[in-house]
Structure 1
Amino acid sequence: MPYLTLEDNTQLFYEDHGQGQPVLFIHGVMMSSKFFQKQVPYFQKNYRVLTVDLRGHGQSSKVEHGHTVAQYARDMKAFIEQLDLKDVILVGWSMGAFVVWDYINQFGRENIKATTVVDQSPSDYIWPGWDFGAFDFEAIKGVMQAIQEDQHGFNAEFIHGMYKEKPEQAEYDWVLEEMNKLPASIESTIVFNQTAVDYRDTLGNVTVPTLICFGSVGFFPVEAGAYIQERIPESRLVAFENSSHLLFLEETEKFNQTLDEFFSSL
């Protein structure tokens, strides 16, 4: 199994399939690269498909430091440079979209050909005048406490919100297994950080073609996707009527074809 070692000796687990235009899939908080298992076989036929476990997640090092969106973005910069990737298409799901936006805020569009945002509002926090978040202060306080006191129970319940329809038991089981790989100390830290960040004022920094995919029910309304589309010049929005947060598992065929059409248009 391939690992990439960062300057602080953190090891990132990744998989690298296919050849050609590189496409890097970045997962959400508490998740892992395994969530893209239905994308890799499809896209590796025509693209170089890379999936990576962010530090602390999945099979990557369970280091207790560096768990901020900004550091995850720096990790992705190091990942791209060490693998000598050029003109990368970044696909960020959930917090992975934050990582994409933070990458661009820190490093610009260097080596980035296009981006795809998958079901993520520009901010998870419900700020004054901002209704497209997921947590207010009481909610995030409760989440932090639940993770620390009963991580397994919190994760087990959280899964239900990611699906529009109840998943098959086998799928539910592997999703929970992946989530439970993240130590509670890391989980509560990064959940808080990714809730506090806010990219509303910097979306205009994204100056590459962008596809925005949103589920019709779940954590964020499609209107949050429309907000993003209005602020990223070269972007388009596609709604997934039969999905919540896991579009690529719930509507796999539509998701893969939508991304493939976008990639082919670049």
Structure 2
Amino acid sequence: MPYATTDDGVRLYFEETGTGHPVIFVHEFAGDMRSYEPQMRHFGKRYRAVAYNARGFPPSDVPEHVSSYSQARAADDILAVLDHLGEKQAHVVGLSMGGFATLHFGLRHPDRAASLCIGGCGYGAELEKREGFKKEADIIAKTLLEGGMKAFAEKYAYGPTRVQFENKDPRGFAEFKTMLGEHSALGSANTQAGVQRERPSLYALVDEMKKLTVPTLIITGDEDWPCLLPGILMKQSIRSAALSVMPNAGHTINIEDPEEYNRRVGDFLHHVESGRWPMRDPRAISTSITGMKA
């Protein structure tokens, strides 16, 4: 089984298919590398497509202590995979927890990112909702450790931004829920406590995002309510960013509507690789609505 090893000795299981410029897929909290199967099959026809399981998600290692989990480690784990592949740069595509990791990878290692696709990123970011988000993370971690993974999956899978997936594709949703129930309760609890709960608010990263020039696509569903305003914030702050909103879509956009998701991400990668991805024109930034301010 192929593994990349991090600088703190954690083994990350990965799979790859195809040849060409590498694209690394970074999964969400409720998913794992299997969540990216529609993308691995699609993009593996044109790229070296790679998906891996985050620390805490078997068959990757499950560190016992919460201290082994953080937002910085999640970003640097992408670097560990990239280094193991022997590649200088990669397109990095993430969703939710993976979207945050993708953003932080770009902030921490911009020279190693060919592009960033930041999906479903924003949960707990709004400053007035931080304390409520942290309390929910505590409840999730406690529920996982006390009730186990399968019982947790029966509740968590039906969140307000995931029911859209069930309505569109009951069979696909059932598969997603089954896979969620197969995760490690300890690894998931530690991920909640160490990564999700403690990650910095996007609103505290504005100055850092303003320095980012890596080609960036921010993509979200229009019913992924916690991610809409943070998506606009990232669009405003990152001058190399575009914002793409998928209609009538919830949080799990890459498996809820894989054809549309693949089309949008594929167009983005094509523009980047052809050298046609733009930086924002400074003239588009103004305190005037029409440009006719006296």
- TM-score scaled by length of structure 2: 0.80
1:115-130 equivalent positions in 2, closer than 5 A: 115-121=116-122, 124=124, 126-128=126-128
| Pairs aligned (count) | 261
Give the equivalent residue in structure 1 for 2:186. 185
Q: Which amino acid in structure 1 is aligned with residue 53 of structure 2?
A: D
Measured after TM superposition, the shift of residue 141 of structure 1 is: 3.4
**Deviations for 1:156-180, whole angstroms, at most 9, x for unmatched residues?**
2111222414265543443234323
Aligned to 1:195: 197
- 1:50 Cα offset (Å): 0.7
Query: Between the two proteins, what is the percent identity of the paired residues?
Result: 21
> Is residue 68 of structure 1 aligned with residue 74 of structure 2?
no
Provide the C-alpha distance between the structure 1 equivalents of 2:246 and 2:58, rounded to a whole number of angstroms.
27
Deviation at 1:126, TM superposition (A): 4.8
Q: 2:158 aligns with which of 157, 160, 167?
A: 160
Equivalent residue, structure 2, for 1:82: 84
Give the deviation of 1:22 after TM superposition.
Answer: 0.9
TM-score, normalised with respect to structure 1: 0.88
Larger Rg: 2
Of 228, 233, 240, 1:234 maps to 240
Gaps of 5+ in 2: 273-294
The correspondence of residues 1-266 of structure 1 with structure 2, limited to 5 A, is 1-65=1-65, 66-107=68-109, 109-121=110-122, 124=124, 126-128=126-128, 135-151=132-148, 152-161=150-159, 162-166=162-166, 168=169, 170-192=171-193, 193-198=195-200, 199-200=202-203, 201=205, 202-218=208-224, 220-266=226-272
Q: Secondary structure at the match of 2:92?
A: strand
Contact 1:89–1:113 (Cα < 8 Å) also in 2: yes
**Runs of at least 4 residues of structure 1 off by over 4 A?**
167-170
Structure 1 stretches lacking a partner, 5+ long: none
The residue identity in structure 2 corresponding to 1:136 is: F
Q: Return the alpha-carbon distance in structure 1 between the equivalents of residues 151 and 210 of structure 2.
A: 39
Structure whose residues are more often helix by fraction? 2
Pair 1:169–1:238, CA change in 2 (3 A): closer
Rate the CA distance shift 1:26–1:221 in 2: closer, same or farther, 3 A: closer
RMSD: 2.3
Deviation string, structure 1 residues 152-210 (Cα, Å, up to 9, x no partner): 22222111222414265543443234323433232222113313312332322432111
Cα deviations across residues 95-130 of structure 1 (Å, max 9, x unaligned)? 1122122223333x1221110011111x525533xx
Q: In the TM superposition, what is the alpha-carbon distance from 1:230 to its structure 2 partner?
A: 0.5
